[in-house]
Amino acid sequence: MDQLIIDGGRPLRGSVRMSGSKNAALPILIATLLTDEPCTVDNVPVLLRDLRTTFRLLESLGKSVEISGSQVRVTAHGSLKTQAPYEIVKQMRASVLAAGPLLARFGLVRVPIPGGCAIGLRPIDIHLKGFAALGAREIADSGDIILSAPRLRAGRVRFKFPSVGATEHLMMAAAAVPGATVIENAAREPEIEDLAVFLGRLGAKVRGAGTARIEVRGERTLHGAVHAVIPDRIETGTFMLAAAAATGRLTLLGAEPRHLKAVTAKMRAAGAKIDESAGSMTVSMSGRPRPVAIATAPHPGFPTDLQAPWLAWMCRASGRSRVTETVFENRFLHAAELRRMGAHIAVTGSEALVSGIERLSGAPIMASDIRAGAALLVAGLAAGGRTTISRVYHIDRGYERVEVKLRGAGARIRRVKA
């Protein structure tokens, strides 16, 4: 198993190119199940483990996937299967999103119920309620859910919480159902807008993506499309926080400043200088940050996926700050690892209180999920001495060639086989 070894305390400099968004690419690739015609998706972070899992999912359902650089071409050969393998769903929860398109097209689908994960229970009740509103019947059968609806019908659904996955899932299914489906209290993340653009290219009419009310007018037969995925705002935010924590001046090429407004505002309040232009962002920082409180929230709030790296930065703030997690129940596993580096963090329920110290010290630490891993990278880059991160496969789910990108920015980081 790989480890990352960081000799920290060196400022980051120069520029790094950001990849396409993992969380936009996953649903878009799964949405290719809506058509039998070829689809070409560009700017896909193909090196990520979650993308590899998505390709295997599509292949297991009967699609062919060809990869060339960051371009992915998905074609059909013969008829699709309507049963997703547990072995794939258990590796990546987002696989469950295959159910919607298959249900809408074939009237019946069987998917394993994804279990919880390190960051929370993560049920799919909001998805299922949405399908019920479109006329689907649900049968539980030894760990699987069977959804059946000989003809899914357009309908109206109001989510109790703006779930990203449920919004994407319903949008995909509705794209293959004639008539207007309305989703209220929909998630507003940029990845939803990107999916809406893709569904539009397949032939559906989607209005309101990026707002809390989305209307999808579907078509029974959708066609192929060419699309380029938006830049990864979470990768960008992670590198912004790494540059701020390690200090220096780093330019993120291919970044989209519009998607990171909440993060930029908080980082500026803490003392970072951030310059934005079309297609790039530059972060400059010297010294310790001012303590600034954040609370995560659905978009346009502060993203839960950047809570962990933010907390890592605040470990060296010049005072006490509070971090509140409102989206997931159990997303502070990184706090224990950061404490091993000398951080003063007290976690009570959904709140972490951080008392900043001058500098963290390198230590052997372990990633527990993608973004906890990102926090450890940020901490290791800022710390004095050597940090060894194990369970790097978590980081590899969300960051392409992270050590190569960071080395390009002047970090001393290498990957070793342990």
Active centre residues (catalytic): 117
Q: Does 57 bind ligand EPZ (CB under 6 A)?
A: no
For residue 59, give the amino acid letter.
E
CB of 338 to ligand EPZ, least distance (A): 18
Q: Does 288 bind ligand EPZ (CB under 6 A)?
A: no
Peptide bond into 309 cis (omega under 30): no
Q: Are 81 and 62 in contact (CB under 8 A)?
A: yes
Backbone angles phi, psi at 365, to 5 degrees: -140, 170
| Given 131, 313, 328, 399, the residue binding ligand EPZ (CB under 6 A) | 328
Q: Does 233 bind ligand EPZ (CB under 6 A)?
A: no
CB of 262 to ligand EPZ, least distance (A): 12
CA distance 46 to 66: 11
**Closest CB to ligand EPZ belongs to which residue?**
165
Options 10-18, 75-83, 164-172, 251-259: segment touching ligand EPZ (CB under 6 A): 164-172
Q: What part of residues 103-132 is at the interface with ligand EPZ (CB under 6 A)?
A: 120-127
Residue 5 or 92 having the CB closest to ligand EPZ: 92
Count of positions on this chain that bind ligand EPZ (CB under 6 A): 24
CA distance 49 to 391: 13
| Count of CA atoms in the C-beta half-sphere (13 A) of 240 | 33
Q: Does 136 bind ligand EPZ (CB under 6 A)?
A: no
Q: What part of residues 68-107 is at the interface with ligand EPZ (CB under 6 A)?
A: 94
- Both structure tokens of 78: 């013969």
Terminal-residue alpha carbon distance, the chain: 6
Q: Does 371 bind ligand EPZ (CB under 6 A)?
A: yes
For residue 158, give the amino acid letter.
R
Residue 185 or 355 having the CB closest to ligand EPZ: 185
CB of 30 to ligand EPZ, least distance (A): 10
Q: What angle do CA 239, 371, 366 make, to 5 degrees?
A: 110
Q: Does 370 bind ligand EPZ (CB under 6 A)?
A: yes
CA distance 278 to 281: 8
Q: How far is CA 181 from the centre of its chain?
A: 26
| Given 100, 101, 165, 248, the residue binding ligand EPZ (CB under 6 A) | 165
- Both structure tokens of 34: 């809506």
Q: For the beta carbon of residue 52, count every other beta carbon within 10 angstroms.
A: 17
Q: What part of residues 177-196 is at the interface with ligand EPZ (CB under 6 A)?
A: 187
Q: What part of residues 289-318 is at the interface with ligand EPZ (CB under 6 A)?
A: 304-305
Contact set with ligand EPZ (CB under 6 A) = 23, 26, 94, 120-127, 161, 163-166, 187, 304-305, 327-328, 370-371, 398
